[in-house]
Amino acid sequence: MTLIEPTADRQSTALAPDLRSLPDRAARAWTERMAVRPRAGSTYAVTTESDSTYLVDIAQHTCSCPDNRIRGERCKHLRRVAIEITARRVAPPGKERAVCDACGTVTFAAADARTPHLCSHCRLEAGDIVRDRETDDRLVVTAVTDTSAADWTIEATDETVADYDTNDGYPADDLVVLATYLSDAVSATEPREYAFPLSRLRRAEDAELVDSKNQ
């Protein structure tokens, strides 16, 4: 990983917009109290300060309020839904808020996704090349299970992944990841799978992927 050093002439920047420069509808979308609730498909229910509720379809860019339906304006309700999605306060269409099963942070998952739910930082998929933090060996992920290290028994030793001596110090509730050594994946007809706690593996950097192809 390459760190980027801050420069002395870097300008300070506000994350929130300058409301004085925004059109009235945009400013009200930022400042008024509204409750946004996902509904079916790409629709959201928006309840305003006056306790009125309107149905916004973010995909169709429509709202049931008079400002949009009659005047054809991009109303404050449409704008507010876009703000809440961008700020990750509500899930985008087809997604739902979930807790990452590995690190506990809030993430978004496909509405019909099966567990485990993993954030972008923790997510591994079959085919990913990873590094073993203990040995620095390169491996290829074959599966991410929904079973914890404390509940996965290694047949050869009759002990759990969590109890295996080289996994000491890794969380017992880590999800188990199955992987094969990269050299075996390339040369062996039926490469052997090994079980690892998720946090013992890290995704290989791009430079490491290039290096692996040259070996």
Verify that 73 and 138 share a domain, yes or no: no
The confidence score (pLDDT) of residue 115 equals 62
Does a structural domain hold residue 112?
A: no
pLDDT tens-digit map of 75-133: 999 999 999 998 888 889 988 888 887 777 778 877 766 667 777 777 888 999 999 99
**Which of 61, 87, 113 finishes a domain?**
87
Query: Structure pTM?
Result: 0.55
Does a structural domain hold residue 168?
A: yes
CA angle 22, 28, 31 (to 5 degrees): 105
Does a structural domain hold residue 118?
A: no
Verify that 70 and 132 share a domain, yes or no: no
**Radius of gyration, alpha carbons of the chain:** 24
Verify that 139 and 189 share a domain, yes or no: yes
| For residue 64, pLDDT beyond 90 | yes
| For residue 2, pLDDT beyond 60 | no
Does a structural domain hold residue 176?
A: yes
Verify that 202 and 132 share a domain, yes or no: yes
Please give the full DSSP string across 46-113, using - where no structure is assigned. Answer: EE-TTS-EEEEETTTTEESSHHHHTT----HHHHHHHHHHHTTSSPPTTEEEEE-TTT--EEEEETTP
**Which of 42-46, 90-94, 123-127, 153-157 ranks highest by mean pLDDT?**
42-46
Mean pLDDT in residue range 144-158:
92
**What CA–CA distance (Å, rounded) separates 58 from 200?**
40
Does a structural domain hold residue 133?
A: yes
Mean pLDDT in residue range 138-150:
93
Does a structural domain hold residue 211?
A: no
Does a structural domain hold residue 48?
A: yes
Least-confidence region, from 4-8, 29-33, 73-77: 4-8
Verify that 132 and 201 share a domain, yes or no: yes
**Count of structural domains within the chain:** 2
The confidence score (pLDDT) of residue 100 equals 80
Residues 6+ apart with CB under 8 A from 40: none
Domain around 36: 20-87
Does a structural domain hold residue 177?
A: yes
**Which of 59, 87, 115 finishes a domain?**
87
